[in-house]
Structure 1
């Protein structure tokens, strides 16, 4: 039976399949520290703001975060491990290894990503230097970011929206909904995998989102940059998004909530 939207493998199936098919080189001690750190962070939204890394974006991390070796291997799906959809069945997933094609290094592991741009750990070094690269360029040529993995853990912060201003200036809260997937729905659904709200979904669960429109991409956020980034990203894929605004204004010490505007 071929893979379809109704029987697409979930993350657990991907992890089990990769663990049965591949082995990673010995992992340095800092990677175990990374597993423990990811467990502590849980499902919190995380952000990395670092000069020289994705300077035109907010740096919100969109990966799941690896807590053990199987989940670390699953983080490399689409980077090192490529699923052959046509040759796979629900009971037997067929993978190719980008290392064999010279397109990936065996000592690279994907630690996290931001909208598909990977943070890569070099496990050939005991301190695990951290590299990064843009995705979609056709080849991987990662650049150094941190000299060790510990520094990455120190620089990542929990992502929280700014607090309300203390003066009387109005604050605009923005909500963004994905209302139509456009003419290439699979591309849009794939892009949703990098969104914090939907990154835990895979296979059939992800495909079912097409029947659950509208989908919330941003909820009552004061970030204009994040709103603009979401609108640009999904409209570039041919999708349709809707933006509503709620204005919070303090007058005579009281908060006023104005009607949403498009």
Structure 2
């Protein structure tokens, strides 16, 4: 009887410990998730973080059917910038509307103070800053992915040809690379696959989320290779060579555009200074001679 009671008590204690451990694990996961969201939130500029708590006041305007296309475009841009964990696309669109209205209010205030030009400049800055900032983030992210992709493909090619499967090779490479936009997206793919999502589905969703042409081309090639049973190692090598050639052509194009881009500052800022230095003393002497 005593042994039965002790066994029941031990079982109850063990069950309680398991429950507490499970509850503590859930709490730690929630805390880690909140920390990740806070880290992503801090990526936003200070002015955005200041206005975001207020955007609910214009939520009804952002949800009007008139803005459906603009709202969808903003949601896509937020995903492309990988900011969807910090702020939803709909909320960012509401932020754009709120800042535009705030800019219009500033214009009215400054115009009432007989300083309409300053108000106009501030109003335009507040109205267009969110869109310009988001486009800059997307462009910077795409450029980073374009630069990093050939090297990752080379490492994947070597690993796959050495006998590793695609996911193991990708996981090993991501474990040794520094965190960058491409690494963030590939780590997200690995995490989704670990949660049970298919490899093709995870890769396609990454391609639709990022919308970087070269990355989409690589993803489409990998998906087709899986469907047709083609050797993925040879495919990755071909894709890597093509991307390196594209990167070389792009660098050559930028180098050819450089003289045209520096022509304006040279003519406007450098040539006048050179002329002043060279001709200035001559003109000065000529004026002194004529003055006599």
Give the TM-score band, short-chain normalised: under 0.3
Question: Which one has a larger percent helix, Structure 1 or Structure 2?
Answer: 2
The TM-score with structure 1 as length reference comes to 0.26
Structure with greater Cα Rg: 2
Higher relative contact order (CA 8 A, sep 6+): 1
Question: Which one has a larger percent strand, Structure 1 or Structure 2?
Answer: 1
The TM-score with structure 2 as length reference comes to 0.24
